[in-house]
Amino acid sequence: MLELIIFSTLNGLLYGMLLFLLASGLTLIFSMMGVLNFAHASFYMLGAYFGYQISRYVGYWPGLLLAPLLVGVIGALVERFGLRTVHKHGHVAELLFTFGLAFIIEELVQMIWGKVPVDYRVPELLNFSAFTLFQTTYPAFRMFMLLMSVAVFIALLLLLTRTRVGLIIRAALSHPNMVGALGHNVPLVFMLVFGVGCALAALAGVIAGPALVTQPSMAASLGPILFVVVVVGGLGSLPGAFVASLLIGLIQTFAVALNVSVADVLAPLGITLTRDSIGGDLWMATVAQVAPIIPYLLLVLVLIFRPKGLMGDRET
Amino acid sequence: MNILKTWCRWPLAAAVCLTTLGAHAQVKIAYIDPLSGGAATIGEHGLKHIQFLIEKINAKGGVINGQKLEVVAYDNKGSPQESLVQVQKAIDAGVRFITQGNGSGAAIAISEFVAKFNERNPGKEVLYFNYAAVDPALTNEKCSYWHFRWDANSDIKMAALTNFMKDKPEIKKIYIIGQDYSFGHSVRNAANAMLKQKRPDIQIVGDELHPLLKITDFAPYVAKIKASGADSVITGNWGNDMSLLLKAAADAGLQVNWYTYYAGGAGGPTAVKQTGLDHRVYQISEWHTNVPSPEMEAFDDEFLKKYGGANAQRWWYLRMKNQMEMFVDALNKAKSDDPKKVAAALRDMKFKTVLGGEVFMRPSDHSLFQDMYISSFGSGTKRDEEKTGWGWKTVGLIKGEDTVIPTTCKMVVPS
């Protein structure tokens, strides 16, 4: 039991930190520019594929630096030449633009690298088990993923709280118009934020690529959860995104471990429900079976009871 | 704005004409399986199988009076709804033979669609060859005259596995894990029922279903298996669900025995090697690369050389070889590619396979019965898989006639 709890916590934290790497970029972009970047998960996928391609020539480690840089530059160019032009047509146009961009990136990836998963390998340096607890081993690469995400989080925190650029960004997060009125080069800040947001997503891709499979559907599988995280955490709130990603990561991992169903809960109370009762399979479904949809349930609940999100300060 | 400039109109028209020229190719068979998503590796591997088989058939002179066979591939993305879209596309393209295997959900949808289509379009019938979807329903309550299955159904496989397991006293606690759809349900139901009957002392410590082809990280599930104290795991998982489950087990150092249907599918052997479980992972199949047969071994080597790819994936579906060869025999026997005549020739066909044994199609439910091998994966075999150095070794053989089980199919034979 303790073993299950420890490993579920580790896995949940890992998944949560990965979500945070992605959600932080998305929150920054949305909060500052009002653009819900549907293509954010696609930049994550691009980062993984670029990392894979680089690892085939020079190994895994250069990819850790190069892939995010490349994708960051691509992101900045998308903002400069794409979003900025579309911006004058309103929010809906920007939304559609990023939506279409997501499709284009997915098709390009399929055309260049094929539809079959690619063999993005864990670097030899990290291909061992970090520790053994209760006869279960934990891979070193996963520890690396966790530590890397924490390091990036701390770096982001320091950037936002200790530097001047961070000051401007934080101001623009909650009062974008005022920042513009004060004479800061807001378009440049926007381009920087978009680029850095995409670079963060790409870094998440390079980290997660070898552990979770690198395939063209990786963007579509992570995309929806990302929006749940951003909405639940609260738009405009980076700490909120952090709390929400950890919350969802832990909930989804722990939910898999629970074999309780509604029927099991009601049985001690004397109410017997089987497959043949009214509602049938609904009562027999265990928490583990519905684990993938629990984040979306949370999303619906948050939207009903607290639309601002857990720590947000703007209406969704 | 004139989008079509003059200089590109003629080449465009020529290109359109050239593509329709292909429509004059001879007997077409549609391959409708996942070529993207969580089963892309398996779907692509299967496509290479059928392409290689057709090359060989055409090189030997084709079918009927020298007509060539052609395969047209369609990507159903693993989804039943998408499969129906692709079946309609195939029918519109003039194809009258469809083959599919990955996913009983898609298989049931296709079988029902084909039955309805044939009823509404007499004279334009279409046949459906199922080479791998093993939900028993397809040859029982959902059977159809237009559906033929070349693989033993899930109940037959589970009966064979549980017979093998009942003589192993070291098995005390079993964890069942599967994909949450019709096939996964039938595996778990059969496992529960048969184990209770043959070894009531075995404790079933887990009975888990997870979403189909969606999960990339099985670590939480492996943690659960570990926490349950199971010494053996039964699973019907295939595609990414099998290889990633094994990979997560390898990462966690899980020490259990695995009783599977599809551990040998593309990507599986590499994952088994990662776990380090030498001859502790079992599968039930109609053949494996170390079954002695010089002709099949040569065939396998030729396929590996031509289509093995970077991962050195060998031949896997003997059942597809049986299917295509029996199809050719039926075409030649009926002397026509009319699906109704081909179906009549196929439904009670007896066929001598490359292994030397005889297989037969049962007319009451269109199931093929063949020898089944239980094998374990590990070191010390003559031929290895996917450059791992490990290969399959037979630990049990069930003759075809011993695999026959009754059917509830009430087949309606068209006049």
Residue B244 has its nearest CB partner, among A15, A213, A221, at: A213
Burial A25-39 (b: 16+ CB within 10 A, else e): bbbbbbbbbebbbbb
- Residue B25 predicted with pLDDT over 60: no
- Residue B9 predicted with pLDDT over 80: no
Could B219 and A1 be called an inter-chain contact, meaning their C-beta atoms sit closer than 8 Å?
no
Residue B269 to residues A44, A105, A221, B149, B198: CA-CA distances in angstroms?
Answer: 29, 32, 26, 26, 30
Helix (H) or strand (E) holding B83: helix B80-92
Quote the CA–CA distance of A208 and A141 in Å, as a whole number: 10
Could A4 and B227 be called an inter-chain contact, meaning their C-beta atoms sit closer than 8 Å?
yes
Most confident stretch, A30-34, A73-77, B409-413 = A73-77
Pick from A116-125, B16-25, B317-326: least confident: B16-25
* Chain A residues touching residue B48 (CB < 8 angstroms): none
Q: What is the mean pLDDT of chain B?
A: 91
> In this predicted structure, what is the pLDDT of residue A68?
95
* Chain B residues touching residue A3 (CB < 8 angstroms): 223, 226-227
Helix (H) or strand (E) holding B51: helix B40-59
Which amino acid, residue A280? Answer: G
Give the domain extent around B351.
22-152+316-370
Q: Indicate whether B197 belongs to any domain.
A: yes
> In this predicted structure, what is the pLDDT of residue A237?
78
Q: Give chain B's contact residues with A (Cβ, < 8 Å).
A: 35-38, 40-41, 44, 75, 180, 206, 208-211, 214, 216-217, 219-221, 223-224, 226-227, 240, 244, 251-255, 310-311
Total of domains in chain B: 2
- CB count, 10 Å around CB of B225? 22
Q: Indicate whether B298 belongs to any domain.
A: no
Looking at the structure, tell me whether residues B190 and B118 fall in a common domain. Answer: no
Give the pLDDT band (50/70/90) at residue B18.
Answer: low
Residue B40 has its nearest CB partner, among A116, A142, A212, at: A116
Residue B383 to residues A207, B271, B279: CA-CA distances in angstroms?
Answer: 36, 17, 15
Q: Indicate whether B164 belongs to any domain.
A: yes
CA A236 vs. chain centroid, Å, equals 16
Residue A304 φ then ψ, to 5°: -75, -50
- Please give the average per-residue pLDDT across B232-260, as a whole number: 93
Q: Is A285 exposed, middle or buried (0-12, 13-18, 19+ CB in 10 A)?
A: middle
Looking at the structure, tell me whether residues B252 and B376 fall in a common domain. Answer: yes
Residue A263 to residues A260, A282, A291, B193, B392: CA-CA distances in angstroms?
Answer: 8, 9, 17, 22, 43
- Please give the average per-residue pLDDT across A182-200, as a whole number: 87
- Going across the sheet that includes B391-398, the strands are B203-210, B173-179, B232-235, B257-260, B281-285, B372-378, B391-398
Contacts of A176 (CB under 8 A, 6+ apart): A32, A33, A34, A186
Could A116 and B252 be called an inter-chain contact, meaning their C-beta atoms sit closer than 8 Å?
no
Quote the CA–CA distance of B175 and B232 in Å, as a whole number: 6
A215: closest chain B residue by CA: B37
- Residue A80 predicted with pLDDT over 70: yes
Quote the CA–CA distance of A123 and A63 in Å, as a whole number: 11
Could A8 and B223 be called an inter-chain contact, meaning their C-beta atoms sit closer than 8 Å?
yes
Q: What angle do CA B24, B29, B33 make, to 5 degrees?
A: 130
Looking at the structure, tell me whether residues B105 and B47 fall in a common domain. Answer: yes
Q: What is the mean pLDDT of chain A?
A: 86
Give the pLDDT band (50/70/90) at residue B6.
Answer: low
Quote the CA–CA distance of A139 and A52 in Å, as a whole number: 20
> In this predicted structure, what is the pLDDT of residue B23?
44
- Please give the average per-residue pLDDT across A113-142, as a whole number: 84
Residue B253 has its nearest CB partner, among A115, A137, A289, at: A137
- Please give the average per-residue pLDDT across B227-256, as a whole number: 92
Query: Can you give the CATH number for the domain in which B125 is found?
Result: 3.40.50.2300
**Chain B: nearest CA to A86, how far in angstroms?**
23
- For A132, the 3-state DSSP assignment is strand
> In this predicted structure, what is the pLDDT of residue B22?
45
**Chain A: nearest CA to B243, how far in angstroms?**
11
**What is the tens place of the pLDDT at every residue in B316-366?**
999 999 999 999 999 999 998 899 999 999 999 999 999 988 999 999 999
A214: closest chain B residue by CA: B216
> In this predicted structure, what is the pLDDT of residue B2?
63
Q: Is A52 exposed, middle or buried (0-12, 13-18, 19+ CB in 10 A)?
A: buried
Which amino acid, residue B181? Answer: Y
Pick from A34-38, A284-288, B127-131, B242-246: least confident: A284-288
Find the largest Cα–Cα distance for chain A: 69
- Asked if residues B237 and B245 have their Cβ atoms less than 8 Å apart, the reply is yes
ipTM associated with this complex: 0.82
Looking at the structure, tell me whether residues B332 and B253 fall in a common domain. Answer: no
Closest CA to B135 of B157, B112, B118: B157
- Percent of all residues in chain B with a pLDDT value above 90, rounded to a whole number: 78
- Residue B116 predicted with pLDDT over 60: yes
**What is the tens place of the pLDDT at every residue in B175-211?**
999 999 999 999 999 999 999 999 999 999 999 999 9
* Chain A residues touching residue B229 (CB < 8 angstroms): none
- Please give the average per-residue pLDDT across B124-152, as a whole number: 94
* Chain B residues touching residue A253 (CB < 8 angstroms): 220
Looking at the structure, tell me whether residues B138 and B162 fall in a common domain. Answer: no
**Chain A: nearest CA to B319, how far in angstroms?**
23
Looking at the structure, tell me whether residues B262 and B394 fall in a common domain. Answer: yes
Quote the CA–CA distance of B323 and B151 in Å, as a whole number: 10
Give the pLDDT band (50/70/90) at residue A119.
Answer: confident
Alpha-helical regions (H) of A163-185 = 164-174, 176-181
Q: What angle do CA B313, B215, B226 make, to 5 degrees?
A: 95
- Residue A315 predicted with pLDDT over 60: no
> In this predicted structure, what is the pLDDT of residue A278?
72
- Percent of all residues in chain B with a pLDDT value above 70, rounded to a whole number: 94
> In this predicted structure, what is the pLDDT of residue A312?
75
Q: Indicate whether B296 belongs to any domain.
A: no
Looking at the structure, tell me whether residues B131 and B206 fall in a common domain. Answer: no
Looking at the structure, tell me whether residues B323 and B284 fall in a common domain. Answer: no
> In this predicted structure, what is the pLDDT of residue B282?
95
Pick from A181-195, A252-266, B16-30, B210-224: least confident: B16-30
Give the pLDDT band (50/70/90) at residue A172.
Answer: confident
Q: Is B280 exposed, middle or buried (0-12, 13-18, 19+ CB in 10 A)?
A: middle
- Residue B106 predicted with pLDDT over 80: yes
Looking at the structure, tell me whether residues B145 and B172 fall in a common domain. Answer: no
**Chain A: nearest CA to B216, how far in angstroms?**
6
Looking at the structure, tell me whether residues B360 and B380 fall in a common domain. Answer: no
Pick from A119-123, A299-303, B178-182, B338-342: least confident: A119-123
Q: Indicate whether B321 belongs to any domain.
A: yes
Specify the residue for token string 């039930």: B284
A212: closest chain B residue by CA: B216
Q: Indicate whether B297 belongs to any domain.
A: no
Task: Read off the tokens for A245.
Answer: 């990603």
Alpha-helical regions (H) of chain A = 2-33, 40-57, 60-77, 84-87, 91-113, 140-162, 164-174, 176-181, 186-208, 218-233, 238-257, 262-266, 281-284, 287-290, 294-305
Could B240 and A213 be called an inter-chain contact, meaning their C-beta atoms sit closer than 8 Å?
yes
Q: Indicate whether B209 belongs to any domain.
A: yes
Could B253 and A11 be called an inter-chain contact, meaning their C-beta atoms sit closer than 8 Å?
no
- CB count, 10 Å around CB of B13? 10
Residue B252 has its nearest CB partner, among A8, A136, A217, at: A136
Looking at the structure, tell me whether residues B54 and B133 fall in a common domain. Answer: yes
* Chain B residues touching residue A256 (CB < 8 angstroms): 220-221, 224
- Residue A264 predicted with pLDDT over 60: yes
- Please give the average per-residue pLDDT across A77-90, as a whole number: 90
Q: What is the 3-state secondary structure (H, E, C) of B313-331?
A: CCCCCHHHHHHHHHHHHHH
Residue B283 φ then ψ, to 5°: -145, 160
Could A137 and B221 be called an inter-chain contact, meaning their C-beta atoms sit closer than 8 Å?
no
B36: closest chain A residue by CA: A115
Looking at the structure, tell me whether residues B174 and B64 fall in a common domain. Answer: no
Q: Indicate whether B2 belongs to any domain.
A: no
**Chain B: nearest CA to A116, how far in angstroms?**
5
Q: What is the pTM of this model?
A: 0.86
Q: Is B368 exposed, middle or buried (0-12, 13-18, 19+ CB in 10 A)?
A: buried
> In this predicted structure, what is the pLDDT of residue B143?
93
Interface test with A, best of B216, B240, B275 (most A CBs within 10 A): B216
